[in-house]
Copies of this chain bind each other. A is one copy, B any other.
């Protein structure tokens, strides 16, 4: 696309959204290595300078790309959560959805977890990460409402880091059987067995 005339045709907010969408397309199609501010600017038909009016630098653009990927992931998980019945079935369905998202959005998903984060990520970004664990925590609370909030939080982080590990190794094909079906089987084993321990501890305390 040619460069647009100097008189901006879009508001800064519109340029920002266009740039984010273009960056996501580039990462999804060509991988993270192909991403540059020059390429994003060319794709939306603006000069690189226009991009620097809405993003500080490439790292800032990537942070927002990752934030947008976390939104997509959240939407996918929420759509699953509203359909499922009991907390245990929901956690199994959420694990499957998490793995499916990772497999269908391979490059964007990897970028969220592999790109070195700035020393301190902004609050809006941290909130997007926390939201995912909170969804898991909510299901665990459904299983054991009497457990202390800090126990539920620990369990949510432990269990979901585990599901994350299955996705990571599944994607990297470091697992013995390859592909998504194998990853789903492992995640189901992880969730089911973990919940037996989680529920037993709850029973012993109750």
Contacts and interface: CB of A to CB of B under 8 A. Distances in A.
A162 interface: yes
A155 to B, nearest CB: 6
A131 interface: no
A202 to B, nearest CB: 11
A38 interface: no
Interface stretch (A8-16, A42-50, A53-61, A173-181): A173-181
- A158, A176, A189 — which one has the most chain B CB atoms within 10 A of its CB? A158
A176 B153 CA distance: 9
A167 B165 CA distance: 9
A175 B190 contact: no
Given A196-B200, A197-B193, A164 B157 contact: no
Contact of A154 (B113, B133, B189): B189
9 contacts: A154-B189, A155-B189, A158-B186, A161-B166, A193-B194, A193-B198, A195-B197, A196-B196, A197-B197
- A165, A173, A187 — which one has the most chain B CB atoms within 10 A of its CB? A165
A192 interface: yes
Tell me whether chain A's interface is mostly helix, strand or loop, or mixed. helix
Copies in the complex: 2
Chain A interface: which size bin?
A: 35 or more
Contact of A162 (B153, B162, B175): B162
A168 B197 CA distance: 23
What 9 A-B pairs are tightest by C-beta distance, nearest first?
A: A165-B165, A193-B197, A162-B162, A196-B197, A158-B189, A164-B165, A158-B186, A161-B166, A161-B165
B161 A175 contact: yes
Given A194-B190, A194-B194, A201-B193, A176 B164 contact: no
Contact of A161 (B113, B133, B162): B162
A172 interface: yes
A90 interface: no
A110 to B, nearest CB: 8
